Structure 1
């Protein structure tokens, strides 16, 4: 029986490389994996899934008006697995469409993404995934300042931590850091070689 998986983690937790590995494994076995990514994440180009280690592949971009279920259902050869990168940027109705892929088409769906934004609030897509996923799995990474598990995203502007503003601003290591709770509230700025 197919299931909806939500695999979440902080930035640099290897979410995208894991997605790319799963897609590769399916395709090496002669199976079809369809990969989606929200169009809002255009750091490497719209419809491109790219890991920080430099591996990438084309993906189907998801716009606000995209019907993911209809796209998969209309495929002449149905995929053996549907993979979604940056799931935090999905709209709640996209998540519902993913549940229909699982429940009506019996195709497993694995979504990778962040859980919370830099304001320590759940992303809209992540909140819906927490409500709908059959299995929720954490992908762990460590705080950039210590060896504790990173549980928060710290945003910087002009070398200073930022805790307010637009919830979504696409950026990478130049803007965001994965940190533990302690260093989210008390970052050791005088020792932050990441901002140099």
Structure 2
């Protein structure tokens, strides 16, 4: 029975690495996988899922208006059975995308493994992450650590000046140069001006 899986964490926990490894495990056994990523995430290149340790793979780049259920149904009809769908950066999806992926699981019986952030730099749920927390069949936390050694559950965004940003657009694509994963205590300190990036 296929399921919708949500693998979530803060930045720099290794989500993309895990996704690429899981997809490779299927492919190594001769099974077909489909990898998806938001079109505007071009950190590694358009239509490429990349990890901090250098692994990467081609993916289908989707737009906000893309119907993922229709796309996967067409891919399945054209190229034969799909063993698993992998989606990187779930936080860039829409709520509609989440439901389209649920339909892939329920109507096409294809497992979908989604990887992404749970909350943004202000501690708010991303819309797609909120939807996944509500309807995913299984959720798995991918853990990373704060500079103090505690589990990191939050992320701060740094401005061009290196200062902690407290407002701004929810989605702003970036990596280590822009985001730092922290435990809740140090995130709270950062949001209240009691922590600076140099402290790491």
The 8 Å contact of residues 72 and 78 in structure 1, kept in 2 or not, is answered as no
**2:194 corresponds to 1:192:** no
Secondary structure, counterpart of 1:107 in structure 2:
coil
Aligned to 1:46: 46
Please give the TM-score of this superposition, normalised by the length of structure 1: 0.94
User: How many angstroms apart in 2 are the aligned matches of 1:153 and 1:189?
Assistant: 13
Aligned to 1:178: 181
Query: 5+ residue gaps in structure 1?
Result: none
**2:118 corresponds to 1:111:** no
User: How many angstroms apart in 1 are the aligned matches of 2:137 and 2:197?
Assistant: 43
Aligned to 1:155: 157
Secondary structure, counterpart of 1:160 in structure 2:
coil
Measure how far apart 1:53 and its partner are: 0.5
Please give the TM-score of this superposition, normalised by the length of structure 2: 0.93
Measure how far apart 1:191 and its partner are: 4.2
The 8 Å contact of residues 8 and 137 in structure 1, kept in 2 or not, is answered as yes
Query: 5+ residue gaps in structure 2?
Result: none
Measure how far apart 1:62 and its partner are: 1.3
The 8 Å contact of residues 162 and 197 in structure 2, kept in 1 or not, is answered as no
What pairs up with 1:60-139 in 2 under 5 angstroms?
60-75=60-75, 76=78, 77-139=80-142
Aligned to 2:26: 26
Aligned to 2:37: 37
Secondary structure, counterpart of 1:161 in structure 2:
coil
Measure how far apart 1:57 and its partner are: 0.7
The 8 Å contact of residues 11 and 114 in structure 1, kept in 2 or not, is answered as yes
Aligned to 1:146: 148
Over the residues paired in the alignment, what is the CA RMSD in angstroms?
1.2
Measure how far apart 1:190 and its partner are: 7.4
